[in-house]
Amino acid sequence: MAPRVLIIGGSGAVGKPLVDEFLKQRSHFERIAVLADPAKISRFADAEKKGVEIVVGSFLDASSYKGFDVVVSLAGNAAMKLQPGMIEAAIAGGARHFYPSEFGGDISVGDFWQNRYFRDKVVTRDHLAAKAKEHPDFRYTLVLTGPFTEYAVSSFNGIDFEKHTVEPYGKPGAQLSVTAMADVMRYIVGSILIPFDGSKNVREFRVPGEARITWETLVEYLGEVQGVEYKLTYLDPREAAAKQEEARKSGNEDEEVFWAGKSVMLNGSGLIPGPLDNAKFSFTPETAKETIQRLFGKK
Ligand SMILES: NC(=O)c1ccc[n+]([C@@H]2O[C@H](COP(=O)([O-])OP(=O)(O)OC[C@H]3O[C@@H](n4cnc5c(N)ncnc54)[C@H](OP(=O)(O)O)[C@@H]3O)[C@@H](O)[C@H]2O)c1
């Protein structure tokens, strides 16, 4: 039977393009639905006209998941900590395949497992592993892409596009993997259509669009496409860590996560270790250079 998919967080920054990608591949799915809070249904009016179902309810209620095989969570930072509850409800409602809200670096390598920015993703992975032991027919998929290129090359990482300066927290020469956002969506949707190996409860798709690049090279491409030279100055990650700790002590969770996120890009853990799975998909992803050219209307 073709998969019946429920998307949680379909109105978010990643949720919208993901819904669009599902619509492009509509014929491969029996049902594509978004879970919507009763007060926010109107956000999905356009998607509904194009063939997306709206399930009205809470992601903590088992009945929301009835009739779905696959659940894709796109919970943002605020809702991330609620994912264990979603997983419980999804299993109780009959769903047997869960995509946790990951879609970035491999949080099991380097400092990431201890980084506050990924704490709720770590807890979610542990919860999934425990549930898979309890329910032998429950499965989950991790999609690892590294940072989205569009998010890497952004003001969040200290880029000033007008002054042509870059001041990220990190160290020179750190390597990372990056993937264009539209390609991340193709990998997520395409992966659902790849049969799960029956002997396992968990699988990973390691699918960076640009498998290995340095921050210096990204900045060089940026300068090249704008016809300018960027001045790159690294900031000490300990300064970001101190601000993170200050925020934690004052109980400002959003600030705490914000500062934790400042040092994830260039701490050397942003590289997705192989073996990679890109060859399991039938499209060629955009390179980092192509994405930057596209962002500046040069492609
Ligand atoms: N690798 C990268 O560079 C990269 C970049 C961006 C995102 N990501 C990952 O992609 C995933 C999704 O991120 P995003 O940027 O799309 O997040 P987002 O824009 O914050 O969207 C989060 C979604 O969750 C919903 N949500 C938030 N709080 C909620 C709550 N308490 N109850 C119910 N729903 C709630 C939001 O709905 P409402 O608007 O109704 O609250 C929204 O639909 C995350 O895992 C993130 O780390 C990765």
Given ligand 1 and candidates 74, 80, 155, which is best to mutate, with the most ligand atoms within 8 Å of its CB? 74
Joined tokens for residue 18: 């993901």
The answer to whether 36 and 16 have CB atoms below 8 angstroms apart is: no
Note the pLDDT of residue 205. Answer: 98
Smallest CA separation from ligand 1 atom 13, residue? 76
pLDDT tier, 237 (very low <50, low <70, confident <90, very high otherwise): very high
Phi, psi (deg, nearest 5) at residue 242:
-65, -40
Note the pLDDT of residue 69. Answer: 97
Asked whether residue 165 carries a pLDDT value surpassing 80, the answer given is yes
Spell out the residues 6+ positions from residue 233 whose beta carbon is closer than 8 angstroms to its own.
165, 166, 167
Q: Please indicate whether residue 148, judged by its CB atom, sits closer than 6 Å to ligand 1.
A: yes
Asked whether residue 33 carries a pLDDT value surpassing 80, the answer given is yes
Given ligand 1 and candidates 103, 210, 265, which is best to mutate, with the most ligand atoms within 8 Å of its CB? 103
Q: Which atom of ligand 1 is nearest to the CA of 100?
A: 45
Q: What average pLDDT does range 45-67 have in this prediction?
A: 96
Given ligand 1 and candidates 7, 8, 14, which is best to mutate, with the most ligand atoms within 8 Å of its CB? 14
Compute the distance from residue 260 Cα to the ligand 1 centre, in Å: 17
Note the pLDDT of residue 263. Answer: 84
pLDDT tens digit string along 213-236? 999 999 999 999 999 999 999 999
Smallest CA separation from ligand 1 atom 37, residue? 9
Dist CA 173 CA 66 (whole Å): 49
CA atoms within 13 A on the CB side of 92: 12
